[in-house]
Amino acid sequence: MMWNWQHGDWPNFIYDSAALEPFERQFLLNSGEFIGAYRHVSADDRDLLRIELISDEALTTSEIEGEILNRDSLQSSLRRQFGLGGDDRTIPLPERGIAEMMVDLYRTFAEPLTHEQLHAWHGMIMAGARRIEVIGGYRTHADAMQVVSGAIGNPNIHFEAPPSAQVPEEMERFLAWFNGSASAGLPAATRAGIAHIYFESIHPFEDGNGRIGRAISEKALAQSLGQPSLISLSYTIGRHRKRYYDMLELSNKNVRITDWLVYFDETILEAQRNTLERVNFYIAKAHFFDRFGAKLNGRQMKAVARMFREGVEGFKGGLSAENYISITKTSRATATRDLQDLVEMGAFARTGERRYTRYYLRLE
């Protein structure tokens, strides 16, 4: 088996730029729509939205690698680092580390990518890890760096990265390409896709390559926009994780990467749609409270806030009377009156009858 980095053309990737042009045009259109919508979010809600979007990215980029984090701790860490306050809870190292990396990515997107930044990111996300030899530096072990599945004694090798001894030279070339391509006119989504497959092919760290590789792609997109993209890239990849890994494996055998870039461009466009949908949800949320906030009693406010916390996808299956009773700790008779009042004022829509009755937020 020959891997892409063993080909004579490495790392000069070959692809059909004409096949990518429609994606690039749509990326720019979506970017303009997002920027316009984001400006309609109030300053306070913008802070909340930024925390929500970044925390979802941090949670999902970790989950893709099998690490399940606590959302509340992660968001508390993000609020502290952005100077938005936060509770007094002790933040576990994994949540604090990924939050630090995401905030650094947000604040330094325009700066050149360096070995020092990559090492710092690795130190952040690997803080407290005991299973690897080098934290905050490139791998040095003599063993082959492989992505393997299957039984012991009969492994299925999905990919093998360059030997550790080659990593410093490979990363020097990667950084020269990444920083040089920022001003070379390479289209935004294409650059982000090449950056990801290029970095993942080198696999310079013992662990954490996926999280750092996705952060590099987000940095590339932000540089093309001239502002943090807040794109839901990892969130979108996480929803189709198997497809992501399948495409990585299909694309690591040679330097022809048109199929990979088409896949990655499609993922970026879906991520933009997901992000825009969430921005519009925040705008609708603000309008909802403008219209109904003063009319809601304490119980109704508590239930509505709980429903909004479910995000764009909403309260699964709708809100039942039993849900309302559980959230508000009130009696069935009071719950019935509260829910009827919410329907009559136009805050809730109702479907079904009797025990199948469900309630949904009515958003503009």
Domain boundaries, the chain: 4-282, 296-361
Q: Class assignment of domain 296-361?
A: mainly alpha
75, two tokens: 């968001």
State the sign of the Cα–Cα–Cα–Cα dihedral 339, 343, 346, 349: positive
| pLDDT beyond 90 at 181 | yes
Closest listed residue to residue 56, CA positions, set 234, 217, 215, 221:
234
Distance CA 240, CA 64 (A): 10
Distance CA 74, CA 215 (A): 17
**Tokens 């992000």 appear where?**
275
User: Closest Cα partner for 11 from 224, 186, 252?
Assistant: 252
Nearest CA-CA partner of 265 in 30, 36, 9, 8: 30
Three-class SS of 137-201: CCCCCCCCCEEEEEECCEEEEEEECCCHHHHHHHHHHHHHHHHHHCCCCCCHHHHHHHHHHHHHH
The CATH H-level (homologous superfamily) assignment of domain 4-282 is Fido-like domain (1.10.3290.10)
Contact between 342 and 313 (Cβ < 8 Å): no
Average pLDDT, the chain: 93
Cα–Cα nearest to 245, from 203, 199, 210, 193: 210
- What per-residue confidence (pLDDT) applies to 153? 67
Q: Do 126 and 208 form a contact (C-beta atoms < 8 A)?
A: yes
* Residues 38, 279 contacting (CB under 8 angstroms): yes
pLDDT at 150: 65
Q: Does position 151 have pLDDT exceeding 80, yes or no? A: no
pLDDT at 62: 95
Residue 197 clears pLDDT 80, i.e. is over it: yes
Enter the pTM of the model.
0.88
Asked if residue 298 has pLDDT above 90, the reply is yes
Q: What is the CB neighbour count within 10 angstroms for residue 323?
A: 18
Cα(247)–Cα(64) distance, rounded to whole angstroms?
15
Q: Does pLDDT of 313 surpass 90?
A: no
∠ CA 270-271-277 to the nearest 5 degrees? 90
* Neighbour tally for 25: CB within 10 Å: 11
pLDDT of residue 48: 86
Between CA 141 and CA 162 the distance in angstroms is 12
Is the pLDDT at 68 greater than 90, yes or no? Answer: yes
Model confidence at 82: pLDDT above 80: yes
Separation in Å, CA 206 to CA 64, 123, 234, 323, 333: 16, 12, 21, 46, 59
Q: Please determine, for residue 216, whether its predicted confidence score (pLDDT) is greater than 80.
A: yes
**Distance in angstroms (rounded) separating the CA atoms of residues 343 and 350:** 7
Least confident interval from 23-27, 123-127, 306-310: 306-310
Angle at 37 between CA 31 and CA 38, to 5 degrees: 85
**pLDDT over 70, % of the chain:** 99
The residue-averaged pLDDT of 284-302 equals: 94
